Structure 1
Amino acid sequence: MIVIGLTGSIGMGKSTTAKLFAEERIPVHDADATVHRLYAGEAAPLIEAAFPGTTHEGAVDRKALGARVLGDPQALKRLEAIVHPLVRKAEAAFLDRARGDGAKAVVLDIPLLFETGRETHVDAVVVVSAGEEEQRRRVMARPGMTEEAFAAILARQTPDREKRARADIVIDTSQSVDDAREQVRAALTELLLRQARR
């Protein structure tokens, strides 16, 4: 089974690309979705203990938590020390299930793949990119997004050009979804061929 790490900076089209892999019947583990589940369950009491007042009725209040950790590297580290091990546990269970089901390939959708050194835990890295102008247009169109918040998020992320340089395959999402779909199909063909040659 080939484990594909899918990543890309904010606004580059990673979520859409993950859906395109899923359309090709490739199991996808979405780290963001896992965090959402954890914030509504297992992680909430741990986060409340570390950041009092950031939960409401047993679930993390993402806005309150964001206000506490964004722009504070030490607070972010504390949060990551709580959340990352729980995400890895969920990911390991996902990989075990996929192997048991005989999957040929799986995708781990990991937003901070390079930033957390996860590229060494996957067989291939696929980076999605759309160029800086398109990225800015998409991100600034999000409700509540500010220049300050965008800058803070970018500061935490490995620059797009570096991600592209370190990728096994780059998927350009600046055109249509159909165009990206063709690139995903080509990427899968190439990666499965590579795996077969090993």
Structure 2
Amino acid sequence: MSHPPDQSTRPAIIGLTGSIGMGKSTVAAMFAELGVPIFDADAVVRHLQGPGGALLPMIEDAFPGTTGPDGVDRGALGEMVFGKPDELARLEAIVHPAVANRRLGFLDSHADAPLILFDIPLLFEKGGADGVDHIVVVSAPASQQRERVLARPGMTEQKFADIMKLQLPDADKRARAHHVIDTGTTLEETRRQVKALIARLGGSRDQSRP
């Protein structure tokens, strides 16, 4: 079993978050390109729920008919849990402990890194802010966010509105952040911000909270 690393020797942890369409994935990729190890919670969930995924038996037992050879049928599972807090809680009780265990393993594997990044879309909404040292919020003007999201295949005004209801407003996220990365500019400028932030945070452990 993995154990949490010693607080005095572990890497400083960046918690990267941002609302839909703000460019979080792009920024996370920039951190990775600059050598910062990335733990992508969503990618871990996709792996655990994909073909042959470790969570498929438990999910099928709790939500019959939602899995198959290709893994979880996201549409079928979504119908069972969307708008149903109790059912969503049942699913999260299966998924969250497995992701947490993978995260501990990731920490063990990168114990010598000065800085690591947790890519957590719902960092504030799910109460994960206390588990990181530096909260970094990715943000862009609302008009750009809207344009990016509505350009996605299958996205509608209603889906966008429903997603936004589940997320803390961007202004609130920025107010609670230690650092904000602006993606409402060029990729080159955004990359410059990321590089400067890595230089500023590398090896430090700012334990203050907003």
TM norm structure 1 = 0.93
Question: Does 2:26 align with 1:13?
Answer: no
Instruction: Give the SS at the match of 2:30.
Output: helix
Q: Deviations over 1:44-100 (max 9, x none)?
A: 12111222111122610112222322233322222212111111111110011000x
Structure 1 match to 2:139: 129
Structure 2 match to 1:55: 67
One of 18, 21, 25 as aligned partner of 2:35 = 25
Question: Percent identity of the aligned residues?
Answer: 53
Question: Does 2:113 align with 1:103?
Answer: yes
Decide whether the 8 Å contact of 1:71 with 1:152 is kept in 2. Answer: no
Structure 1 match to 2:150: 140
**For residues 62 and 96 of structure 2, what CA distance do their matches in structure 1 show?**
15
- Number of equivalent positions: 196
Structure 2: which 5+ runs fail to align? 1-10
Structure 2 match to 1:70: 82
Structure 1 match to 2:198: 188
Structure 2 match to 1:168: 178
Structure 2 match to 1:179: 189
**For residues 9 and 144 of structure 1, what CA distance do their matches in structure 2 show?**
18
**For residues 137 and 123 of structure 2, what CA distance do their matches in structure 1 show?**
10
Decide whether the 8 Å contact of 2:114 with 2:203 is kept in 1. Answer: no
Instruction: Give the SS at the match of 2:110.
Output: helix
Q: 1:194 deviation in Å?
A: 4.6
Q: For the structure 1 residues 149 and 76, does the alpha-carbon distance in structure 2 shift closer, same or farther, using more than 3 Å as the test?
A: farther
TM norm structure 2 = 0.88
More helix by share: 1
Which stretches of structure 1, 4 residues or longer, exceed 6 Å deviation after superposition? none
**For residues 78 and 181 of structure 1, what CA distance do their matches in structure 2 show?**
39
**For residues 139 and 153 of structure 1, what CA distance do their matches in structure 2 show?**
11
One of 92, 104, 129 as aligned partner of 1:119 = 129
2:178 partner letter:
D
Decide whether the 8 Å contact of 1:44 with 1:60 is kept in 2. Answer: yes
Q: 1:33 deviation in Å?
A: 0.5
Structure 2 match to 1:80: 92
Q: 1:10 deviation in Å?
A: 0.8
Q: Deviations over 1:139-182 (max 9, x none)?
A: 11111112222222111111111000000000011112111110
Question: Does 2:55 align with 1:43?
Answer: yes
Instruction: Give the SS at the match of 1:171.
Output: strand
